[in-house]
């Protein structure tokens, strides 16, 4: 097992493992009315072992949100890690579940300041290393309260740095808004073999000194080879409306060249997917989800390099097939 490389995180003084721990899945089942916003049933003891395995293997960056499991993901991380030194914790703010089951986006100063204190308690830490606005849009950023709140939290020592978690399908407007004004320290964006819409923004942001967190590298497990056209998800699993039968049927066809590359290289499809993301030098860290010690161990095996020919093959696959698959996924998700 090779050591996981580290990166300086943008223009901050944080040093993070290039492979991080995505902690949405360990939040478990959560519902907004009849809409699933979690990953179905989990075993907390298994989740704790997943975190411990990741730490033991050299993963020292964990990304969560106060909305993952409605706080449960943060609580598990707090119970397992607490104020341990040498671990970088990132979390997010801005989503709120209303009493009627609907979801509100709340980037008011009052909400952010109060939510930060709650996250600190759940995480059992005296500060948050990176606090991120969770999918804030340009209108929220222009209003300004969220930026004021973040800067106040930095001044108070409750957070060290702040950033923005960008839209899955249209990351450009919000990213450009902050970059043009030199605000924030990082962007979290979707980057995978299937979704490469943020590549241009990522390159500009990294050149400007922003730390880059790549999320969804396995596209909800599609790129791990876990599913086929017959796979189905329970009603408390958000993939039930994201990875619909139509999406799974199309993905099974469109991803065959990707899976063939994994077979030729004699490695797991997940390894190819992570290698693709890590072949982008702008990426500070990539955060695959880890629900079990086995997944944590596999993801921590360390990246291997893709050849230029293999990268070109994946790039051509995106242009020829996967852009259309991504468009289908976007339409299915948005209804």
CA distances from 302 to 17, 108, 113, 138, 193 (A): 10, 40, 37, 37, 18
High-pLDDT (> 90) share of the chain, %: 96
Residue 218 pLDDT exceeds 70: yes
pTM above 0.85, yes or no: yes
Note whether residue 183 is domain-resident.
Answer: yes
| Rounded mean pLDDT, 167-190 | 99
- Do the beta carbons of residue 28 and residue 328 sit within 8 Å? no
Q: How confident is the model at residue 304 (pLDDT cuts 50, 70, 90)?
A: confident
11-50: pLDDT as tens digits = 999 999 999 999 999 999 999 999 999 999 999 999 999 9
- b/e string for 280-292 if b means 16 or more Cβ within 10 A? bebbbbbbbbbbb
Note whether residue 71 is domain-resident.
Answer: yes
- Do the beta carbons of residue 283 and residue 191 sit within 8 Å? yes
CA 14 to chain centre: 18
Gap between the Cα atoms of 166 and 132, Å rounded: 10
- Do the beta carbons of residue 106 and residue 133 sit within 8 Å? no
Tokens of 136: 């804030």
Residue 108 sits in a domain whose CATH number is 3.20.20.100
Note whether residue 198 is domain-resident.
Answer: yes
Phi, psi of 209 (to 5 degrees): 100, 10
Note whether residue 236 is domain-resident.
Answer: yes
242-275: pLDDT as tens digits = 999 999 999 999 999 999 999 999 999 999 999 9
Angle between helices 323-334 and 245-254 (to 10 degrees): 170
| Rounded mean pLDDT, 197-201 | 98
Note whether residue 256 is domain-resident.
Answer: yes
Structural domain of 88: 6-334
| Rounded mean pLDDT, 124-150 | 98
Structure confidence at residue 3 (pLDDT): 82
Structure confidence at residue 302 (pLDDT): 64
Of residues 276, 215, 217, 287, the one with CA closest to residue 18: 287
High-pLDDT (> 70) share of the chain, %: 99
Note whether residue 82 is domain-resident.
Answer: yes
Instruction: Please count the structural domains in the chain.
Output: 1
Gap between the Cα atoms of 69 and 167, Å rounded: 20
Structure confidence at residue 171 (pLDDT): 98
Note whether residue 269 is domain-resident.
Answer: yes
Give the number of other Cβ atoms within 10 Å of residue 45's Cβ.
8
Residue 1 pLDDT exceeds 60: no
Structure confidence at residue 194 (pLDDT): 99
- Do the beta carbons of residue 243 and residue 40 sit within 8 Å? no
Note whether residue 1 is domain-resident.
Answer: no
């Amino acid at each position: 097992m090779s050591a996981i490389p580290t990166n300086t995180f943008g223009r901050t003084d944080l040093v993070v493992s290039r492979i991080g721990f995505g902690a949405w899945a360990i939040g478990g089942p959560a519902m907004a009315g009849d809409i699933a916003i979690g990953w179905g049933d989990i075993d907390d003891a298994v989740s704790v072992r997943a975190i411990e395995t990741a730490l033991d293997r050299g993963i020292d960056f964990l990304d969560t949100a106060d909305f993952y499991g409605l706080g449960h993901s943060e609580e598990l991380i707090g119970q397992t890690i607490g104020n341990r030194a040498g671990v970088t914790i990132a979390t997010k703010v801005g989503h709120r579940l209303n009493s009627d089951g609907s979801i509100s986006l709340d980037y008011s100063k009052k909400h952010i300041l109060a939510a930060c204190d709650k996250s600190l308690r759940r995480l059992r830490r005296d500060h948050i290393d990176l606090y991120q606005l969770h999918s804030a849009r340009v209108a929220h950023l222009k209003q300004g309260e969220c930026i004021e709140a973040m800067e106040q939290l930095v001044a108070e020592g409750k957070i060290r740095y702040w950033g923005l978690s960008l839209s899955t399908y249209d990351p450009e407007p919000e990213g450009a808004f902050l970059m043009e004004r030199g605000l924030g320290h990082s962007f979290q964006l979707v980057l995978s073999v299937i979704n490469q819409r943020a590549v241009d923004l990522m390159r500009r942001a990294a050149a400007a000194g922003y730390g880059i967190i790549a999320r969804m590298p396995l596209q909800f497990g599609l790129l791990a080879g876990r599913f086929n056209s017959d796979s189905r998800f329970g009603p408390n699993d958000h993939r039930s409306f994201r990875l619909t039968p139509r999406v799974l049927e199309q993905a099974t066809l469109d991803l065959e060249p990707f899976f063939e590359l994994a077979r030729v290289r004699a490695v797991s499809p997940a390894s190819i997917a992570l290698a693709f993301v890590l072949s982008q030098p702008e990426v500070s860290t990539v955060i695959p989800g880890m629900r079990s010690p086995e997944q944590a161990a596999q993801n921590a095996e360390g990246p291997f390099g893709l050849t230029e020919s293999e990268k070109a093959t994946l790039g051509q696959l995106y242009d020829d097939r996967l852009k259309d698959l991504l468009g289908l996924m976007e339409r299915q998700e948005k209804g």
